[in-house]
Amino acid sequence: MKAPGAPTTSRTRSQAASIARPPGAVADSGRGAQPIGSQPASVWRRIGFAGAWLALALSVPILAVIGMRSVLDVQATAPERQQVDPTAVDFQALVTPTPTLLVLYQDGAGTLASVALMVPAGVGSGGTVLLLPASTEVPSLAGVGAGSGDGRLLTLAELHAMDPNATGKAVEALLGISLPQVALIDGAAWAETVAPIGAVVIDSPDRLETTDAAGQPVVYEASRLALRPEDVGPYLGASRSGESPEAKLFRQDLVWTAWLDALAQMDDPGVGGGSRLFGSFGHDIANGIHDVTVVAGQASPAEGDGMARFQVLPGQLHAQVLDLVQFPVGAPGDDRWARVRLLDGRGDQAATLAAGRVIANEWAQLTVFGTADSFDHVANLVQFHGDEYRDHGERLAQALGGGVLVFAEDPTDVVDLTVVVGADFESDFSTPDDVVPRIITSVPESGTDDGG
């Protein structure tokens, strides 16, 4: 293993000067301290997002070819009718959702202390870890995160204390996306995962007093620390009385960033994450350009000796989630989402993928990607496959700058809407606030605008 650079092992003594941290800032991680909730997406993430959309059309592992005619037309079952060329007309493929892992760390007392969403960008492509405070207030949805009796919402930590199985559902409701993989871990799991590295080296900004896994008191000084495997969990869970959620997130950011950086420097990175699932995700994220960021939000003042509560910023949260999870699946019960078939009707994959990014902002869950029946479509075409999706289809047409909105039956029951991108779509178009995109409602002509 490559040496991670001058670590000093100490649990009770300061060995180096502490680093400065502006109030309410998040970890530097080489990007400079930035206020929570207002940090811009890093350049690599924007590039990575574009690369992910390009990979949608070019990378076989994330596509499952289904052959449009064999699926959409029950009469066309002959194998020779299946289209397997993604550049030819009448090609369609199912889109594999972006893998995610929600990591919930609870301390020795069973208290939720750390919440992290791990999102690999692809094999060898790095990824991102999104941190959320355990003091984040969660919405009331299908009985999850219901009011605590005093008019306030429950925090994730409070909900976890009541029902640990509900915590993942609450985060799903908060972020608006399905999170099928959830890892509930403790200090022993962190220790097992960090053991192959030896230590996690950080510049701790705060003096912390807490207890270790055996319940014994331990002090972490404001200094450069080499956290041993058994120290990582207690450090992540440590808090100071009355501190802000941002201060704790700052320290957790340091730990996650240092762990990923150490994994990236392993001579054999494949063993650096240990046997745990979240260790495997860590290896995938570290094996490329990686980043740790925090959820967009703000804290309310602490009351008495209690901890401050944290509220996400809904106006920024959806865009932030889409920046990280390029191909999400909507959270169960979240009717803001609609399943969408995105088709290239102009022979320009780049423009079609740009359109996909535009409609994703309008809660379009990309389920099928492919090409239309021809590349001669001029106007954008949006088909709604049920009256309940008409309004959503109109929003997609508006987002694309206008188009034709029609009803069309879909025998596959795979999607709710079909979008055919025509020559009229401009990927860099801008619509003045007082101009409403032109939407034409009509009946599709047979063989021309059937979306397939």
Q: Could you report the per-residue pLDDT of 239-268, keeping only the tens digit for each?
A: 988 888 999 999 999 999 999 999 998 866
Instruction: Give the C-alpha separation, 259 to 197, whole Å.
Output: 8
Pairing of strands 92-95, 63-65: antiparallel
Which two three-digit tokens encode residue 244? Answer: 């802000």
> Is the torsion defined by CA of 76, 80, 82, 86 positive or negative?
negative
What are the tens digits of pLDDT across the range 190-224?
Answer: 998 899 889 999 999 999 999 887 888 999 999 99
**pLDDT at residue 327 above 50?**
yes
Q: Do domains 56-96+327-441 and 99-148+179-311 have the same CATH topology?
A: no
Query: Other CB atoms closer than 10 Å to residue 295's CB: what's the count?
Result: 24
Q: List, as one string, the DSSP characters of 391-410.
A: HHHHHHHHHTTEEEEEE---
pLDDT of residue 337: 97
Question: Is there a contact between 177 and 183 (Cβ–Cβ < 8 Å)?
Answer: no
- Compute the distance between CA of residue 23 and CA of residue 247 in angstroms, rounded to an integer: 8
pLDDT in tens, 347-399: 998 899 899 989 999 999 999 999 999 999 999 999 999 999 999 999 999 99
Mean per-residue pLDDT of the chain: 77
Instruction: Check whether 1 has a pLDDT greater than 70.
Output: no
Q: How confident is the model at residue 404 (pLDDT cuts 50, 70, 90)?
A: very high
Which pLDDT belongs to residue 412? 80
**In CATH, what is the architecture of 99-148+179-311?**
3-Layer(aba) Sandwich (3.40)
What local confidence, expressed as pLDDT, does residue 104 receive?
A: 97
Which pLDDT band holds residue 444 (cuts at 50, 70, 90)?
very low
CA 186, CA 213: separation in Å to the nearest integer? 9
Specify the pLDDT at position 213: 78
The pLDDT tens digits for 270-318 are 555 555 788 889 988 998 999 999 999 988 876 655 668 899 998 899 9
pLDDT at 48: 46
Q: Does domain 56-96+327-441 bear CATH number 3.30.70.2390?
A: yes
Per DSSP bridges, beta strands 208-211 and 217-220 are: antiparallel
- What CA–CA distance (Å, rounded) separates 218 from 389? 57
Which stretches does DSSP call E strand in 137-236?
Answer: 182-185, 200-203, 208-211, 217-220, 224-227
- What's the predicted TM-score (pTM) here? 0.78
Identify the three-state secondary structure at position 107: coil
Distance of alpha carbon 229 from alpha carbon 292, whole angstroms: 20
Please state whether beta strands 182-185 and 101-106 pair in parallel, antiparallel, or not at all (unpaired). parallel
Span 9-34, average pLDDT: 30
pLDDT of residue 91 exceeding 90: no
Domain ranges of the chain: 56-96+327-441, 99-148+179-311
Q: Give the amino acid at 318.
A: H
Q: Does the pLDDT of residue 66 top 50, yes or no?
A: no
Cα 163 from chain centroid?
24
pLDDT the model gives residue 78 = 37
Helix (H, G, I), strand (E, B) or coil at 315: helix
Looking at the DSSP bridge assignments, the partners of residue 383 are: 406, 418
Q: Quick one: how far is CA 213 from the chain centroid?
A: 31
pLDDT recorded at residue 37: 34
Taking Cα atoms as reference points, which of 293, 272, 295 lies closest to residue 284? 272
Look at residue 76 in the predicted model and tell me its pLDDT: 35
Tell me, what's the pLDDT at 305? 54
Cβ pair 116, 103 in contact under 8 A: yes
Express each pLDDT in 126-174 by its tens digit.
999 999 999 999 865 445 555 544 445 889 999 999 889 899 999 999 9
- Most confidently modeled range among 104-108, 121-125, 446-450: 104-108
What residues pair up with 118 in beta bridges, in sequence order? 101, 129
The neighbouring-strand residues paired with 112 are 106
